[in-house]
Chain A
């Protein structure tokens, strides 16, 4: 009997239950539809229209960068990429067609490699992928004419940055590369997108906002493959602003030639307006591969290189200023009335403090020295003894006026501030008291004080121009800015006389024999890691100074033998407009000498 197994009533009830469940489930579905279509309909209408609309950003060419004479330092090259959609490129017949097309147009490609290219870039069937890059206009024009091209492929123009001056202006101009995730997070989200290029360094980095221009927008309606159906709107992009730098490319090349194999830098600055005519850091690097994309291995090789070619030593290298610092110590002594022009010290070749002997570089001693002769002879004992009397605080006060320990504010990134040091600094950093010996060392630019070549140059430019501490600038359009040194004019005059004596009859005589009369100072910085660093900083013409030049050669031993000729020749080049040629009287110099390289130019 069926009724014993289950009751009819129960079955009816259970079917009724199913009908109830059915009704509830359909009500839920209807509620879902209501939620998406009515309650949130507007959101999805917007999404649907965005779906159909593709906003294409048109990144404008960056502003070009030229040197003071109009020589190109950074330019844009128009190249083309060849793109296609995976839905098309994955078809067997098209693989063959495209491969043949590429080969026909001189781009080597095998079917195997082509399939790999497509699958490597594949993200979705309607996201275009790049088949070939860096094609010229002529190449693309030829390809577009090909019968197979139009159905499967399309060209996209791409601006590439190129640096014709290559390694000669790398540290100044910098380079551009793809924006990093970190940069993307800090930049204005309206202006940048992933994959954009951005200035990374030097002028390219500092003046990014000027050079970049504004991206345009083209709004088009597309189908799901991203194929254009029609134009919707168009906003023109605006090109980045062109820049003219104060840099002279010829001087850059000359600086590279003069410093040769040494690590170090050469900087030339106009002492009246602070414009930088030359800033070369050695060794240098070619920024072009960085812009076009290098492997992480190549990048590591560049950044981990023991000579650190990417570092701009002119502004990032902090060195002991050594004897070049004596103009600052001298100013301090005069300003603090510890000495006047008649004060003399007898140099016996050493100065004794607390039972310790501080040697003069000339072990036999200089005899009686005043401020002018002490600068001329670079006599250490004169500065040891009087600075010890004055104390460290007076010295630091004056050094601070000359900008020691402060960034110069030059318009490229990566500047170091150096170290002003002093008792408080030592207490904080090394947890030790300041000793008299520290002051003695400090007085000749050794010990805790560190300066960048640019800071040293700026101090000398201030002596040359009569007391204005300039803000160095590379962009010709940057305003001329300076601060007064706040040091009495007679003090500066006396120091200036001393510096002029150096090249007339003192340690820097060599610098004065390259076709122009200059004033300047040598320096030999003790280097705990190896040979001494050679400094020379000077300016010319002596009567009405125009340019100041500094050269530092790491491990170059003596300032007078290595660095002085570089400065002398560079000043000659900047003021007389020609390279100095040895063994020839100046009158016989050929006008064509500029830009040519002769063996005689290399002096050792």
Chain B
């Protein structure tokens, strides 16, 4: 275990999955365009570009640096730190909970001045590392293996659920389930977990806050509260639908421009994009996301290292859930959760943590190719 893995620059150049890099960059660029349009009306005075775009570019730059650093460091070295990082994350989440409790309100981040550090975002990559390491060593086909995985997942998810941040905890649950599938959990246990999850949904209703219940209710029927909570759902669907086949054109979306969409640069970024670029644009973005996730799973197939395999699966499940939820929500087909669209939504925590995750996936790819030759 004391072995240090190293990746040389030439290895990286030779073995990197450049399509994977290209797709990532394209998605980030489309996201920038959408943020530019969505936040245009926030631009103050003569500034042609709002602060959101500038800051997103800065985050992207830092993200690129992290991405390269992750590849250079080699995921196997990072994997060694999985346990201490997990403990740190759980401690931070617990601290946040106590802080939030004394402040009498939900608190999801530490304010570091220049940036709001969100442990539940950072925790996703840590969880992916820890879970893949655990399940590779102790497959979830024995009570012990399953118990250990669930204990680790519970330790992270519980404080997030208590924040309350149901959306993020669902991301963790999806990651856990995907890893269980690939790590060889017997099919009947998988089926019973899926069944139990479905049965537990009504229980979720009991612990939900009134505003969360309202969101679910307006999802089922937006006309329940067309002026209030249902407003977002209705307006977002109108934005997406009115984009038509070709869209209204860049900067010509009316729904986003006239503030009918709440949070147009974060939660509803896909609605803004779909309105301006239509079905063609939205389908293209979906295709790019599909390629990205497909590549990640291909890398998972390709590598012989079980740690890397499961890590890729965890990252793919995480991104998949956020994409599917965000896109479905923009059409009013899923409840409003406030989960960001990966690479698209404005937000430092999300961009940085995804850069790290994708960098580590790239590292899995480079290492796998190194092994083969």
Chain A residues proximal to chain B, CB less than 8 Å: 2, 5-6, 10-12, 14-19, 22-23, 25-26, 29-30, 32-34, 36-38, 40-45, 47-49, 51-52, 123-124, 127, 222-225, 229
Q: A18-B297, A36-B237 are in contact. List 11 more A-B contacts (CB 8 A).
A: A11-B306, A15-B182, A15-B297, A18-B178, A25-B324, A33-B274, A33-B283, A36-B331, A44-B240, A47-B238, A48-B241
Q: Is the CB of B282 within 8 A of A14?
A: no
Q: Is the CB of B324 within 8 A of A29?
A: yes
Contacts of B218 in A (CB 8 A): none
B 254-287 to A, binary, CB cutoff 8 A, 1 in contact else 0: 1100111000000000000010001100110011
Q: Which residue of the partner chain B has the closest CB to A29?
A: B327
Q: Is the CB of A34 within 8 A of B279?
A: yes
Q: Is the CB of B242 within 8 A of A44?
A: yes
Distance of A442 Cα from B182 Cα, bound (Å): 101
Contacts of B317 in A (CB 8 A): 18
Q: Is the CB of A11 within 8 A of B231?
A: no
Q: Is the CB of A33 within 8 A of B331?
A: yes
22 A-B contacts (beta carbon < 8 Å): A5-B184, A11-B184, A15-B301, A15-B309, A18-B181, A22-B294, A25-B320, A29-B324, A30-B283, A32-B331, A32-B333, A33-B240, A37-B240, A37-B245, A37-B274, A38-B244, A38-B245, A44-B237, A48-B238, A51-B254, A51-B255, A51-B258
Asked if B139 is at the interface (CB within 8 A of a chain A CB), the reply is yes
Distance of A43 Cα from B244 Cα, bound (Å): 10
Least Cβ distance of A227 to chain B in Å?
9
Q: Which residue of the partner chain B has the closest CB to A14?
A: B182
Set B238, B282, B298: member contacting A33, Cβ < 8 A = B282
Q: Is the CB of B240 within 8 A of A17?
A: no
Least Cβ distance of B245 to chain A in Å?
5
Asked if B289 is at the interface (CB within 8 A of a chain A CB), the reply is yes
Contacts of B139 in A (CB 8 A): 5-6
Given contacts A2-B306, A37-B278, contact A223 B258 (CB under 8 A): yes
Q: Which residue of the partner chain A has the closest CB to B291?
A: A26
Set B227, B238, B240, B290: member contacting A51, Cβ < 8 A = B238
Q: Is the CB of A44 within 8 A of B278?
A: no
Asked if B362 is at the interface (CB within 8 A of a chain A CB), the reply is no
Asked if B159 is at the interface (CB within 8 A of a chain A CB), the reply is no
Q: Which residue of the partner chain B has the closest CB to A127?
A: B227
Q: Is the CB of B227 within 8 A of A26?
A: no
Q: How many residues in B have their beta carbons less than 8 Å from beta carbons of A?
A: 51
Q: Is the CB of A37 within 8 A of B244?
A: yes
Interface residues of B in 303-334 (CB under 8 A from A): 306, 309, 313, 316-317, 320, 324, 327-328, 331, 333
Q: Is the CB of B320 within 8 A of A123?
A: no
Q: Is the CB of B324 within 8 A of A223?
A: no
Contacts of A38 in B (CB 8 A): 244-245, 279
Distance of A30 Cα from B290 Cα, bound (Å): 11
Distance of A19 Cα from B292 Cα, bound (Å): 11
Asked if B50 is at the interface (CB within 8 A of a chain A CB), the reply is no
Q: Is the CB of A23 within 8 A of B290?
A: yes
Q: Is the CB of A18 within 8 A of B254?
A: no
Least Cβ distance of A294 to chain B in Å?
28
Set A42, A44, A123: member contacting B228, Cβ < 8 A = A123
Q: Is the CB of A22 within 8 A of B258?
A: no
Contacts of A25 in B (CB 8 A): 320, 324
Q: Which residue of the partner chain B has the closest CB to A123?
A: B227
Q: Is the CB of B238 within 8 A of A15?
A: no
Distance of A50 Cα from B40 Cα, bound (Å): 23
Distance of A17 Cα from B180 Cα, bound (Å): 13
Q: Is the CB of B279 within 8 A of A33?
A: yes
Distance of A261 Cα from B241 Cα, bound (Å): 70
Contacts of A124 in B (CB 8 A): 227-228, 231
Contacts of B298 in A (CB 8 A): 19
Asked if B300 is at the interface (CB within 8 A of a chain A CB), the reply is yes
Contacts of A52 in B (CB 8 A): 254, 258
Q: Is the CB of A37 within 8 A of B241?
A: yes
Max count, chain A CB within 10 A of own CB: residue among B238, B255, B317: B238
Set B227, B242, B320: member contacting A47, Cβ < 8 A = B242
Asked if B335 is at the interface (CB within 8 A of a chain A CB), the reply is no
Max count, chain B CB within 10 A of own CB: residue among A37, A40, A41: A37
Given contacts A22-B290, A22-B316, A37-B274, contact A223 B259 (CB under 8 A): yes
Distance of A52 Cα from B293 Cα, bound (Å): 38
Contacts of A6 in B (CB 8 A): 139, 141, 183-184
Distance of A40 Cα from B231 Cα, bound (Å): 20
Least Cβ distance of B281 to chain A in Å?
10
Given contacts A29-B327, A32-B328, contact A224 B259 (CB under 8 A): yes
Set A19, A22, A41, A223: member contacting B241, Cβ < 8 A = A41
Distance of A224 Cα from B293 Cα, bound (Å): 37
Given contacts A15-B300, A18-B297, contact A48 B255 (CB under 8 A): yes
Q: Is the CB of B241 within 8 A of A47?
A: yes
Q: Which residue of the partner chain A has the closest CB to B245?
A: A38
Asked if B163 is at the interface (CB within 8 A of a chain A CB), the reply is no
